[in-house]
Amino acid sequence: MPNPVHVADTVPYPWPYNGELAVGQLALLICGAQRRLFELSMSSPEVSVRLVGLADFVRGNGGRVIWIRHGDAGRPGRPLQLLPAIGSDGWMLACATDPSDLVIDSAGWDGCFGSTLDHRLRTGGTRTVVLGGFASEVTVDSTVRTLNDQGHECLVLSDGCAPIDLHLGARAQHSLTMSGGIFGALGTTSALFEALQRSLSQTSTTNSSPTREEIPA
């Protein structure tokens, strides 16, 4: 068993809870990187630079990058001004994705609703989920609630979230930290980078010692 690895200074507990942090078993979930939500959110350009940089690192080291596209799929009842209709200009992704990334459509604010997200996370061997995104108090905050109920161990990036309303975005992140981490934990992009690099160097150290398979017969 490798030594436990935690991200530094996560609130309210050292994340992940079991110290089993490995980029190959991590999914970076970026919610609402869509034209309408990107335009309405505060600090979208800065946040997208951080998320795209993290996505490059995660993808380059065997992790999963997943983009959630929230769309109105013929929602019954009252039309929601903010939720872009599928196929409309505002629904299109506002960031460049890689062909190896997953783009998952959800039928509401919760990335799990009407989507294959939970299935993909379970079948893809994901052990930890990191979330960021745009209109974050609506998209990220809805998605992390359901993922947490499903048992996923979630980290929300405090500097990887671009809310529509800065105050409400901050309160949504504060709610997450209540009761010992009611939906997971909160941390920064730089601390996550550092912890992932630490876990990679630990893995490479482990791999450099001879294993049973490497000993010639």
Partner 1 sequence: MNTTVAANPYAWPYDQVIDPAHTALICIDWQVDFCGPGGYVDTMGYDLNLTRAGLEPTARVLAAVRRLGWLVIHTREGHRPDLSDCPPNKLWRSKNIGAGIGDPGPCGRILVRGEPGWNIVPEVAPIDGELIVDKPGKGAFYATDLDLLLRRNEITHLVFTGITTDVCVHTTMREANDRGYECLILSDCTGATDPDNHVAALAMVTMQGGVFGAVASSADLLEAIEG
Site for partner 1 contains 38 (CB under 8 A): no
Q: Is 137 in the site for partner 1 (CB under 8 A)?
A: yes
Residue 161: closest CA among 184, 186, 179 = 186
CB of 121 to partner 1, least distance (A): 13
Instruction: List, in order, residues 6 or more apart from 135 with CB less than 8 Å away.
Output: 32, 37, 40, 41, 82, 162, 163, 164
The least distance separating partner 1 from the CB of residue 132, rounded to whole angstroms, comes to: 18
Binding of partner 1 by 145 (CB under 8 A) = yes
Q: How far is the CB of 105 from partner 1 (least distance, A)?
A: 13
Stretch near partner 1 under the rule CB under 8 A, chosen from 12-20, 97-105, 186-194, 199-207: 12-20
Residue given tokens 């190959």 in the structure block: 24
Contact residue for partner 1 among 3, 100, 179, 204 (CB under 8 A):
179
The count of other CB atoms within 10 Å of the CB of residue 3 is 9
Residue type, 51: L
**Helix intervals (H) in 30-188:** 35-40, 44-60, 117-123, 139-149, 166-176
Among 2, 4, 9, 13, binds partner 1 (CB under 8 A): 13
Cβ contact 104:116 at 8 Å: yes
Tally the residues of the chain. Answer: 217
* 17 lies in the site for partner 1, by CB under 8 A: yes
> Does 207 engage in binding with partner 1 (CB under 8 A)?
no
Site for partner 1 in 92-111 (CB under 8 A): 107-110
DSSP class of residue 202 equals H
Name the 3-class secondary structure at 88.
coil
> Is 55 or 169 the residue whose CB approaches partner 1 more closely?
169
Residue with tokens 């942090």: 21
> Is residue 42 near partner 1 by the rule CB under 8 A?
no
- Note the residues at the interface with partner 1 (CB under 8 A): 13, 16-18, 40, 75-78, 80-82, 107-110, 113-114, 137-138, 142, 145-146, 148-151, 153, 164-165, 167-168, 171-172, 174-175, 178-183
